[in-house]
Amino acid sequence: MYKGVLFDLDGVIVDTAGYHFQAWKRLANSLGTDFTTIQNEQLKGVGRVESLQIILDWGEIIKTKEEQAELCIIKNEWYLELSTNMDESEILPGVKDMLDSLKENQVHIALGSASKNAVTILKAVGLFDYFESIIDGTKTTRSKPDPQTFELGAEALGLKPSECIVIEDSIKGIEAAKSGGFDTIGIGQSETLDASIITVKDLTELSYNCEDGTLTILKRT
Ligand code: BG6
Ligand code: MG
């Protein structure tokens, strides 16, 4: 039984993982390099600056700190071009129902995302008010797979890691949650993510029961 849920944003709540991929790919191509969808799994959940460094390393490209800062700005402009007109139609299946059940039953809800655009996106899709705490890329100093994002989330809710469940779509985010001592549900494919945790296609595949501030959660059979 859990008392709180820590949601990742991109690829869990909203369908923005593809927009990040498109913007990074456009940036990589503009630098004369490229990367695959398989390599992209290593970028999911990782902060903007760290993601750029990974792409530069893959392409064996060297850039100064100033140039890297400029490239991050360009990538973000391209990402925002793709994502700022989002509305609630881009909320992923099952998210709204789960947030409503949690809220009605006083189960605590926090966001644990690397994105510095998290507040903008949550407001654009109308979900901002569900979150008691938002831990995003503006509040953390260490990128996933470091557990800091989720540790700060649990702390903000006044809960221990063992009292929270993390919902994540990225390899790095699942590593972060596990190393912080959190149980985790993966969104995606078990072979890509982590065979040792419950993995579902989306939140509609989960069966959960909220009562008196507690949550039990299982994969629907
Ligand atoms: C994560 C995404 O949620 O946020 C990554 O999975 C992204 O792809 C990271 O790079 C940082 O996002 P932003 O919006 O601050 O560039
Ligand atoms: Mg994600």
CATH of 4-15+88-218, one of 3.40.50.1000, 3.30.499.10, 3.30.1360.120, 1.10.287.980: 3.40.50.1000
For the chain, give the percent of residues with pLDDT over 90.
97
Task: Identify the CA nearest to 127 among candidates 2, 16, 42, 1.
Answer: 16
Tell me, what's the pLDDT at 132? 98
CATH of 17-83, one of 2.160.10.10, 1.10.150.240, 1.20.1280.50, 3.40.1180.10: 1.10.150.240
Please identify every residue whose CB atom is under 5 Å from ligand 2, which is an ion: 8, 10-11, 169-170
Ligand located closest to 53 CA = 1
Q: pLDDT tens-digit profile of 7-49?
A: 999 999 999 999 999 999 999 999 999 999 999 999 999 999 9
Q: pLDDT tens-digit profile of 73-85?
A: 999 999 999 998 8
User: CA 45, CA 113: separation in Å to the nearest integer?
Assistant: 7
Ligand located closest to 20 CA = 1
